[in-house]
């Protein structure tokens, strides 16, 4: 069975990057990152159940410079995905579709998620 070469319509590359499209792909990206975060969460719980030796090993990885960088990525992904997810739920309920409002809610989500991530790490550190 040979592939028939049909002409393709212009794809993603022809469109301008907007707040709406950027945040949309960020939502998907952060979701995939958080799936890996779920893996880390379960690994942490498993380690706690496995005993102090296993826990110390997992904790050493997570609290090392590389681990902390990963955890920071998870936390940023989480607060963004949470905020934008709530934004999506409002859309599902039929609110906030107005172009101007959607743009404002997008910027607010982005800024708030970055701020909350920073506040979270300041809290953890102090």
Residue ranges binding other proteins (CB under 8 A): 28, 31-32, 34-35, 38-39, 41-42, 45-52, 55-56, 59, 63, 75, 78, 82, 85-86, 88-89, 92, 120, 123-124
- CA dist., res. 64 & res. 14, Å (int): 42
Calculate the CA 39 to chain-centre distance.
14
Judged by beta carbon, residue 82 or residue 114, the one nearer other proteins is 82
Judged by beta carbon, residue 4 or residue 100, the one nearer other proteins is 4
Judged by beta carbon, residue 82 or residue 102, the one nearer other proteins is 82
Q: Tell the smallest beta-carbon distance from residue 37 to other proteins (Å).
A: 9
Cα 110 to Cα 65, 77, 87, 116, 118, distances in angstroms: 26, 11, 11, 10, 13
């Amino acid at each position: 069975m040979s592939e028939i070469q049909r002409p393709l319509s212009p794809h993603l590359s022809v469109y301008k990057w907007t707040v709406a499209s950027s945040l949309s792909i960020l939502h998907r990206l952060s979701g995939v990152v958080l799936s890996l975060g779920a893996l880390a969460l379960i690994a942490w719980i498993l380690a706690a159940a496995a005993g102090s030796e296993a826990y110390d090993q997992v904790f050493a990885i997570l609290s090392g410079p590389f681990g902390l960088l990963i955890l920071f990525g998870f936390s940023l992904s989480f607060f963004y995905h949470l905020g934008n997810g709530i934004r999506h739920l409002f859309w599902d309920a039929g609110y906030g579709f107005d172009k101007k409002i959607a743009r404002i809610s997008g910027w607010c989500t982005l800024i708030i998620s970055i701020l909350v991530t920073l506040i979270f790490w300041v809290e953890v550190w102090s």
